[in-house]
A and B are shown apart, each in its own frame.
Chain A
Amino acid sequence: MTSPDVQSLIDAVRRRLWQGQLYVAARRSLWSTAGLMLLAIAVHLAARSVSGGAVLFALAVLWASMLARAGWKRPADAACALWADRHLGGASAFSTLLELDQATPPRAVPVQAVKHLEAFATAKVPQCLSQLAARPNPVQLYRSLASALVCAGLAMLVGQMLPGPAAAPQQQGRGSVASGPVNPAPAAADSPDSAALVSEIASALSAGPSDAAASPERHGAGNASAPGTGKSDDDSGSAMAASDVLSPGPRGPASGTASGATGEAPPTAGATPLVGGSSGRDAGDSRDEAAGGGTSRALRGTIPVQRLELVARRPLADRRADPGQVANYDEELSKRSAVAKQVDADPAAATSPVAATDSWLTSTETTYVQAWLKASARQR
Chain B
Amino acid sequence: MTATLPADRVFADAHRQIQDLRALLDRVIVGQSELVSLLITAVFAGGHVLIEGLPGLGKTHLAKALAAALGLHWARVQCTPDLMPADVTGGEIYVTAAGGASTFEFRPGPVFAQLVLVDEINRATPRTQAALLEAMQERQVTHAGITHRLPVPFCVLATQNPIELEGTYPLPEAQLDRFMFKLKVPFPTRESLRGMLDVSLDAEPSDTLHSIAGPADVLRITELCRSVLLGERCKEAAVDLIVATQPAVGGTSPDTRRHIRYGASPRALQSIVRAARVRALMAGRAHVDIEDLAVVALPVLRHRILLRLESELDGLDVESTLASIIDGWRLRL
Contacts and interface: CB of A to CB of B under 8 A. Distances in A.
A122 B228 CA distance: 18
B10 interface: yes
Nearest to B291: A91
Nearest to A98: B231
B142 interface: no
A122 B4 CA distance: 6
Nearest to A100: B229
Interface in A11-56: none
Contacts, number: 83
Interface in B205-257: 227-234
B285 interface: yes
B7 interface: yes
Interface in B71-114: none
A326 interface: no
A112 B8 CA distance: 6
Interface string A117-132: 1111011011000000
B262 interface: no
B227 A99 contact: no
A109 interface: yes
A69 interface: no
B11 interface: yes
A95 B233 contact: yes
Interface in A86-127: 86, 91-93, 95-96, 99-100, 109-110, 112-120, 122-123, 125-126
A12 B25 CA distance: 44
B227 A92 contact: no
A82 interface: yes
A65 B215 CA distance: 66
Contacts of B228: 113
B286 A112 contact: yes
Contact of B287 (A3, A86, A117): A117
Given A92-B288, A110-B227, A99 B232 contact: yes
Contacts of B12: 116
A125 B3 CA distance: 10
A206 B234 CA distance: 99
Interface residues of A, number: 27
B320 interface: no
A5 B228 CA distance: 23
A109 B287 CA distance: 12
B236 to A, nearest CB: 11
Nearest to A129: B2
A116 B11 contact: yes
A93 B285 contact: yes
Interface string B1-33: 011111110111000000000000000000000
Given A110-B227, A113-B227, A114-B229, A96 B5 contact: no
A92 B4 contact: no
Contact of A91 (B3, B232, B289): B289
B326 interface: no
Contacts of B2: 5, 122-123, 125-126
A116 B10 CA distance: 9
Contacts of A115: 5, 7-8
Most buried by B among A3, A82, A99, A110: A110
A99 B229 CA distance: 11
Contact of B5 (A82, A91, A118): A118
Given A99-B231, A99-B232, A109-B229, A119 B8 contact: yes
A117 B5 CA distance: 10
B290 interface: yes
Contacts of A109: 229
Contact of B4 (A86, A100, A113, A123): A123
Contact of B289 (A92, A110, A126): A92
A95 B287 CA distance: 10
A113 B289 contact: no
A92 B5 contact: no
B285 A91 contact: yes
Contacts of A113: 8, 11, 227-229, 286-287
A96 B8 contact: no
Nearest to B233: A95
B7 A119 contact: yes
B8 A116 contact: yes
Given A112-B10, A118-B5, 16 more contacts: A5-B2, A5-B3, A91-B285, A91-B287, A92-B234, A92-B290, A95-B233, A99-B232, A110-B229, A113-B8, A114-B286, A116-B12, A116-B285, A117-B286, A122-B4, A125-B2
Interface of B: 2-8, 10-12, 227-234, 284-291, 333
In order of increasing CB-CB distance, the 3 nearest A-B pairs are: A116-B286, A96-B231, A116-B8
